[in-house]
Structure 1
């Protein structure tokens, strides 16, 4: 499950769905909500001259959507040869088992419980299918099993829920940890600075055309929220619900339960660093 607060000021570009780069096409799942934005972005990746494709995050267990992903690949002359997961939340992975049946593919993930076919994903792995090259990037924080996929040929990175196309994601306490998440954002910023990554292909929301700007926005946002949480505690708001009411007053109340997970992660972070 994805959780997002809709905040202004992020760089963004393009409509959701359809071709995004030379090698990446988005198929939008029909699961819009305050938590999933417009729905889950399922990504079909392939070299232009290859007949093999990789699918990242088949999405929820929705038969029509899964068949649409297969049909979209086939319409482009591609056969799905491999399925990858950025993490285990059901809006990304719930349809993986059925999708594997439809395509006859293995499902590779960091979490052994999500793998089908025996082979997992490890940090630093390089996936080559049909000439396509994807580098596995460790990005825990949103969840412990979160990964991103660097697509060097397009100067792009698939971020799952680590960076969204609109708004900000949560740190899904207790599985997600704020310190890990901040390190992951810095790692993605280095990809932009040192590896020429310009494009973010997110798990929800539109494509972003300024990867460095997006990571710096997220880091600044997290620093601001952390300072607000620290101030709220100093002002006597001790429980997570109290802190949410004080800090997230500008956010739709429907998202407060999700915000509370981030607050719990922030409180843990502040305690671990001796700041409260």
Structure 2
């Protein structure tokens, strides 16, 4: 999910969008603040930060069965999270040896300072680490009694995103690459698609997402994610192909606004909705298709020292 510090803009700050998200959130299953989740090796601690973009809140996971365990993610920094976590550690005589961070977003790293105040000897690991943190390497393993975690680098949702395979259970901690409900967003769509396909090839059956409930059939959900994005790619190509007519001796093209109207109707002409939601989405798809050699574009002079980009399918 996006960082919670990001203030909604345009359409995403509208009353319509807020009402839609509130209705969606009301349908989510209730999750316990602290509970075993899917395996005796995993205890889930909710971050105490439910919201439209965070679903029931950020999931953080204590992994292992012994007195020294590994923590995945640290929530947003809400007092309830650190209180629940430290109470559990004290009640069960447990310590944390390592923290593994799925990515840099504040709703996954915000509780780190409070955790290190509780125990400054904990080692913190992240792909593209910050000062004082240790790097994650693809294929690197971390072991605690009863659990072995293997690092899988999965950039796309963010440049530093990583997932972790729980080898004993053939399960995957998916971070924000795959959620327990709905779909995630991508900073780099091309890289994200590669990461989704990599995750699918791992063959893990269970998913522990960064937000939402346990994913009990991860291959099916990954197939849905990949199919949904592949379908959008085909839709954009089809919209462009409809406009492949000779114009002034060359192929005509569509602007991103034209593509939006072709796919979503006249509602896409609403500037707030288009600029906040549809333009970033379509831009991602178009530039990814261009990277793959499927579409091309050119800048067209529209007068008054302004240009617009027209897109077309490459033959």
Deviation string 1:50-100 (CA, Å, 9 cap, x unpaired) is: 111211111102222122122233334422221110001111112223322
Q: Judging changes above 3 Å, is the alpha-carbon distance between structure 1 residues 243 and 97 closer, same or farther for their aligned structure 2 residues?
A: farther
- Which deviations, in whole Å up to 9, do the C-alpha atoms of 1:107-138 show, x marking residues without a partner? 1100222x53x422111101113453100011
Q: Displacement, 1:38?
A: 1.2
Cα pair 2:176 2:209 within 8 Å, conserved: yes
Please say if 1:129 is aligned against 2:174.
no
For 1:244 and 1:171, how far apart are their aligned partners in 2? 23
Corresponding residue for 1:275?
294
**Partner secondary structure for residue 170 of structure 1:** coil
CA distance in 1, matches of 2:257, 2:137: 34
Specify every segment of 5 or more residues in structure 1 that has no aligned partner in the other structure, as ranges: 7-12
Give matches, 1:8-87, under 5 Å. 16-17=31-32, 18-20=35-37, 21-47=39-65, 50-87=66-103
Offset at residue 160 of structure 1 (A)? 0.3
Q: Secondary structure at the match of 1:222?
A: helix
Task: Give the Cα–Cα distance (whole angstroms) in 2 for the partners of residues 45 and 233 of structure 1.
Answer: 48
Q: What is the alpha-carbon distance in structure 2 between the residues aligned to residue 233 and residue 100 of structure 1? A: 53
Secondary structure in 2 aligned to 1:112?
coil
State the partner residue of 2:163.
148
> What is the match of residue 192 of structure 2?
181
Structure 2 CA distance for partners of 1:73 and 1:233, relative to 1, 3 Å? farther
User: Do the aligned partners of residues 275 and 22 (structure 1) sit closer, same or farther apart at CA in structure 2, a change above 3 Å counting?
Assistant: same
- Using the alignment, how far apart are the partners of 1:62 and 1:255 within structure 2? 34
Q: Which has the higher contact order (CA 8 A, sep 6+)?
A: 1
Tell me the secondary structure at the aligned position of residue 148 of structure 2.
Answer: strand
After superposition, residues 197-212 of structure 1 pair within 5 angstroms as 197-212=204-219
Answer with 1 or 2: which has the greater Rg: 2
- In structure 2, the CA distance between the partners of 1:218 and 1:73, relative to structure 1 (3 Å rule), is farther
Shift in Å at residue 147 of structure 1? 0.4
Show the counterpart of 1:9: none
Contact 1:244 1:259 (8 Å CA) reproduced: no
Whether the 8 Å contact between 1:55 and 1:84 is mirrored in structure 2 is yes
1:190-201 mapped onto 2 (5 Å cutoff)? 190-192=201-203, 197-201=204-208
CA RMSD, Structure 1 to Structure 2 (Å): 3.1
> Are the aligned partners of 2:240 and 2:259 in contact in 1 as well (CA < 8 Å)?
no
Contact 1:87 1:143 in 2 (8 A): yes
CA contact (8 A) 1:45 1:53 kept: yes
Cα distance in 2 for residues equivalent to 1:95 and 1:242: 42
Distance (whole Å) between structure 1 residues aligned to residue 257 and residue 58 of structure 2: 28
What is the CA-CA distance between 1:260 and the residue it aligns to?
A: 4.9
Q: In the aligned structure 1, how far is the partner of 2:87 from the partner of 2:156?
A: 34
Query: Which protein is richer in strand relative to its size?
Result: 2
- Residues 130-178 of structure 1: per-residue CA shift (max 9 Å, x gap): 4531000111111111100000112210000011001010112xxxx22
Q: How many residues align?
A: 255
Q: Normalising by structure 2, what TM-score? A: 0.71
Q: Any idea what SS the aligned residue of 1:55 has?
A: strand
Conserved in 1, the CA contact under 8 Å of 2:163 and 2:174? yes
SS of structure 1 residue aligned to 2:83? helix
